[in-house]
Amino acid sequence: MISIKDERGARQLRWGVERMRQKKGRMNERLESTPGTATPQGHPGGSKVGRPKGPDRIARTVRLLEEHDRRLAAEVEHQGLSQQYLIELALGEYFKRLDRQRRRMQGTGEMQADPSSRS
């Protein structure tokens, strides 16, 4: 005898399988309707459909001080942004500051020996 739970589970499973088939069909329709995205015969598939690809990135591993890692994690949670975004933002600001310092030093004809000193 099949219990109500089993029937409900089977119904949910059938619904999930049907939903996946519908999604796959819609994705194939999008690929076919978009010019230039067809994959060659025998190719298992192309890139994912969805968000456009951003700029090329390089995988890099860095070691952080524990305090900096804790603060980064706290800001990620507080801001709701990704670690990558916050690190890239910080690097961008740092590079801008370096450029301003270098332009100022070139304007006066002096070069600082220590780039970490601040004015």
The full 3-state SS of 31-45, as one line of letters, equals HHHCCCCCCCCCCCC
**71 vs 81: CA distance, rounded Å:** 13
Q: Give the tens place of pLDDT for each residue, 21-68.
A: 777 777 777 666 666 555 555 555 555 567 677 888 888 899 999 999
49 belongs to a structural domain? no
> What pTM was estimated for this model as a whole?
0.45
115 belongs to a structural domain? no
Task: Please give the tally of structural domains in the chain.
Answer: 2
Q: What angle do CA 105, 87, 62 make, to 5 degrees?
A: 95
**26 vs 22: CA distance, rounded Å:** 6
- C-alpha distance from residue 63 to each of 13, 58, 110 (Å): 45, 16, 33
91 belongs to a structural domain? yes
Residue 94 structural domain: 66-108
Q: Give the tens place of pLDDT for each residue, 85-116.
A: 999 999 999 999 999 999 999 987 655 555 55
